Structure 1
Amino acid sequence: MRNKKTFFYIVIILTIVSSIFFVGFKDKNANNEELTLKETVVLGINTAKKWNENAKLTKLTSNDEKRGGTRGDTGRRYDWNLFFIVPGTDKQLLVGISKGVIDLEQELIGPKDAIAIELDDLKFDSPELLKIAKNRYNLRKGEDWATGYHFTLDIIGDKPTVTVFGIDKDDLFTRVNIDPKSGKITGAIHKVPEGGGLISIRAGSNTPKISKKGMAIKGISGNSDSLVAWGDQKPRAFNSAVQPFIELSNNNGESWNRLNIHQSIVNAWFNSNNQLYVATESELVRIKEPEDKIESILKLKTQIEGIDYTPNNNIAILSNGYIYTTIDDGKNWSKTTEPEPVMSLQISNSGSLIVFTNDRKVLLKNDEGWDVLKIPNEKKPSVLKVINDDLYLIIDNELWVHNLKDNRWSKLETNTLISRLIKKGNNLFGISEEGTIYLIDLGADSNELIENRLFSIQDKIVLDIENNKTGLFIATTPDYIWEEIK
């Protein structure tokens, strides 16, 4: 009996010990899935030393991911990349760590003069360094391109430096440099918006007027009396869909009225009957005045990836591998499969569908499928726009036009190098590399190109252009520059 009791107690003790061991092992693995900067360095060095016993750390960065977790809020991240060198050589090793496990080892060739970082340089770990950045600059989690808090370790000014990334109180992308040996902040900068807004140059004047300053104006369209503008009121460096808006002006931009649409706008325009069409992220609607009633024309379950329209309101929409087209103001729609990944799509006045693929092929829709347009000199175009039934292409820095009806190519002689094309109804605008805007017209002879110089807009990021009898309207978005935090 006594032996049985002894055996029973031993079994219980072994069970408890096993449970403690299992829980401890499990908790250790769970903690190690998200690693601090120093934990990452130690794990990476152990791997690098197997590659070369002389390996030294030269750089480290956390990576963005969508695994959840703390997203750096505890000074830990799931994914890291480390770079190691063999001093005096061009040998480098990239080590990737994901959830506490080495998942990448790749040999690289790099500069021979890269400076090594020693473990003794890392007195402070990422949780402590994050606390320092938070206390000094009220640093918060990034929300856009770099989500949460991020960390890098690099040589800046010949000294090892840890940079903590986040956003400041004004939602500006921010980086704080800290000496990991002393814990002293050595610099802090944030990305400040510069420019942006709607620029208008009234007919007969060369003086620009800027409204909606600081906003990302993604588009501007108009007819003889009205304008519609859309974009984002509070854009950030990596997100221009923070506070989307669309506004209508019936006095050519003197005053604006907000439309009751709160989704991001893909495009908007007036048809020949002065009805306003608006494409949101997944729906095409028509605005009926004067009561501003919103009528749905096409509602999709997936996001609108591309859209084009003509003055006679032929419309083409790309969404989730399908192209939807209409030639009767949206009463009837045809649906065709996207032939291959598409960069942009165009539709002509006669209803011809044209796509510009990711590998820069031009495909023309026919009754049975798609034809590949043969490009002069077999070169790849960089830009494609369709006006009426003419295809305008920039090919090897030259402007070409192809007529769909007579299948004829013409090379257009230009006085300046056009790098971008923007179309608005029957108008085609060209923007030169130095920032001059031209209105491009073929004139009576399709071989004759007329370049009407409209305005020079250097150092501005132009997204859209409209030109009517009252003047020229230019939609711009802010640029973002690094500025020291004061």
Structure 2
Amino acid sequence: MPGQNWAEGYHFTLSKQDNTVLLTVFSLEQEGYFTRTLFNATTKQLISGIHKVPKGGGLFKEDSGISWNVLKMKDTFYKNFFSDSYSTDNLIYATTPKGLIATKNNGNTWENILVSQSYILDIHTNKQKISINAEEGLYISLNKGVTWNKLNTPSKVSLANLDIDGNVYICSNDKILKESNKLWIDMKVPLSSGIIGFKLYNKTLIAYSSDSIQMLNMKTSKWEEIGKFNAIDNIFIT
């Protein structure tokens, strides 16, 4: 939810993990740089924080508030993404004007993963699988970027994501579609107004418009509305 009054410019999310209530704060610090800070909402203890600054394209990452590591960038970059298994593989991806690069050592060395002159809109990882939604199309790798395939999509893709099993979902022409054997299956989202976005969490597909959020239980194939809201712009799941 967006902050107001003294907290204008801040966004807060509450979540629960292992019976601990977590507060995530997205904000701009005094010099206007993006920060994301995670607290224990009960004890107010700082758990972690990320601070993005333009110096050398670097991203400073804080672990439990004890130490900071600088991410060394060799090139101009647009966005950074952490692997879904970062705790074990230490993989960090960065999109650049030349495509996608990756590092396992905080930027001391970088490897080209995908060469593309097309602007990369988003990237998602699931174990060995990577999906890249670029302006020129949707790319999938089954081996962490060693080889790539371009998926044929029914129309231009605005959003793409991978579920827990590695299945590909896209948002296109106000529909959410799931890829299955080179076919696209309409998930038939019961939203009365246009789809703004969607999230995938465990066995649940969450779709939202500007005034409603719907959840699909993939085990039962049933949709459930979880609430009516005003002026939804984005939702966060942590």
Secondary structure of the corresponding residue to residue 213 of structure 1: coil
Corresponding letter in the other structure for 2:118: T
| 1:387 and 2:204 are equivalent in the alignment | no
Q: Which amino acid aligns with 2:105?
A: E
Q: What does 1:19-38 align with in structure 2 at a 5 Å threshold?
A: none
Is the CA contact (8 Å cut-off) linking 2:70 and 2:106 kept in structure 1? no
Whose strand proportion is higher, 1 or 2?
A: 2
Structure 1 partner of 2:224 = 410
Matched-pair contact (CA < 8 Å) for 1:346–1:355: yes
1:260 aligns with 2:77: no
**What runs of 5+ residues in structure 1 fail to find an aligned partner?**
1-194, 234-242, 430-486
CA offset at residue 278 of structure 1? 1.7
How far does residue 354 in structure 1 lie from its aligned partner after superposition? 1.3
Query: Which of 389, 399, 423 is matched with 2:213 structurally?
Result: 399
Q: Which has the larger radius of gyration?
A: 1
Q: Is residue 2:118 matched to residue 1:276?
A: no
Q: Distance in 1 between matches of 2:224 and 2:183?
A: 26
Q: CA–CA distance in 1 between the matches of 2:153 and 2:213?
A: 27
In structure 2, the gaps of 5 or more residues are 1-7, 13-19, 39-46
* Secondary structure class of the residue paired with 2:93: strand
Tell me if the contact between 1:228 and 1:246 (Cα under 8 Å) persists in the aligned partners.
no
2:182 aligned counterpart, secondary structure: coil
**What does 1:423-442 align with in structure 2 at a 5 Å threshold?**
423=236, 428=237
C-alpha contact (below 8 Å) 2:72/2:106 kept by paired residues: no
Alignment-derived partner of residue 32 in structure 2: 215
CA distance in 2: counterparts of 1:220 and 1:344, whole angstroms: 26
1:369 counterpart (172, 178, 183): 183
For the 8 Å contact 2:35–2:49, the answer to whether it is kept is no
AA aligned opposite 1:302: S
After superposition, give the CA deviation of every residue in 1:206-252 in whole Å (9 maximum; x if it has no partner): 9x89885233428789xxx976544x64xxxxxxxxx7723233534
Q: Report the equivalent of 1:325.
A: 140
Distance 1:205 1:309, change over 3 A: closer
Q: 2:124 aligns with which of 293, 302, 308?
A: 308
Would the aligned equivalents of 1:399 and 1:418 in 2 still touch at CA under 8 Å?
no
Provide Cα deviations, 1:324-345, integer angstroms capped at 9, x if missing partner.
1134433343321343122211
From the superposition, tell whether residues 403 and 418 of structure 1 become closer, same or farther in structure 2 (CA, over 3 Å). farther
- Pair 1:291–1:323, CA change in 2 (3 A): closer
Q: 1:255–1:268: structure 2 CA closer, same or farther, 3 Å change rule?
A: same
Q: What is the RMSD computed on CA atoms of the aligned residues?
A: 4.0
- Cα distance change on mapping 1:380 and 1:346 into 2, 3 Å: same
Distance 1:315 1:409 in 2: 27
Asked if the contact 1:385–1:392 (Cα under 8 Å) also holds between the matched residues in 2, the reply is: yes
Q: Counterpart amino acid of 2:131?
A: A
Find the counterpart in structure 2 of residue 340 from structure 1.
Answer: 155
Name the CA shift for 1:390/1:421 in 2 (closer, same or farther; >3 Å). farther
| 1:285 maps to amino acid | I
Provide runs of 4+ in structure 1 moved above 4 Å: 195-199, 203-206, 208-212, 218-221, 225-229
1:249 and 2:65 aligned:
no
TM-superposition CA deviations, 1:95-129 (whole Å, max 9, x none): xxxxxxxxxxxxxxxxxxxxxxxxxxxxxxxxxxx
Once residues 386 and 319 of structure 1 are traced to their aligned partners in structure 2, the CA distance between those partners, rounded to angstroms, is: 20
Normalized against structure 1, the TM-score is what? 0.36
Corresponding residue to 2:105 among 289, 293, 315: 289
The amino acid of 1:326's aligned partner reads S
The number of residues matched between the two structures is: 211
More helix by share: 1
> Using a 3 Å threshold, how does the CA distance of structure 1 residues 227 and 295 change in structure 2: closer, same or farther?
farther
1:269 to partner: Cα distance: 0.9
| Matched AA of 2:81 | A
Structure 1 residues 336 and 370 mapped into 2: Cα distance closer, same or farther (>3 Å)? same
User: Matched residues, percent identical?
Assistant: 17
Q: CA deviation at 1:317?
A: 0.6
CA contact (8 A) 2:123 2:130 kept: yes
In structure 2, distance between residues paired with 1:351 and 1:257: 31
CA contact (8 A) 2:137 2:157 kept: no
Deviation digits for residues 431-453 of structure 1, max 9, x if unmatched?
xxxxxxxxxxxxxxxxxxxxxxx
TM-score (normalised: structure 2): 0.68
Closer/same/farther in 2, CA of residues 292 and 366 from structure 1, 3 Å limit: same
Q: 2:27, 2:217 → 1: CA distance?
A: 38
Query: Are residues 364 and 378 of structure 1, via their aligned partners in 2, closer, same or farther at CA, if it must alter by over 3 Å?
Result: farther
Write the mapping of 1:97-246 to structure 2, written as runs, cut at 5 A: 212-217=29-34, 229-230=51-52, 233=54, 245-246=57-58
Between 1 and 2, higher relative CO (CA 8 Å, sep ≥ 6) is seen in 1
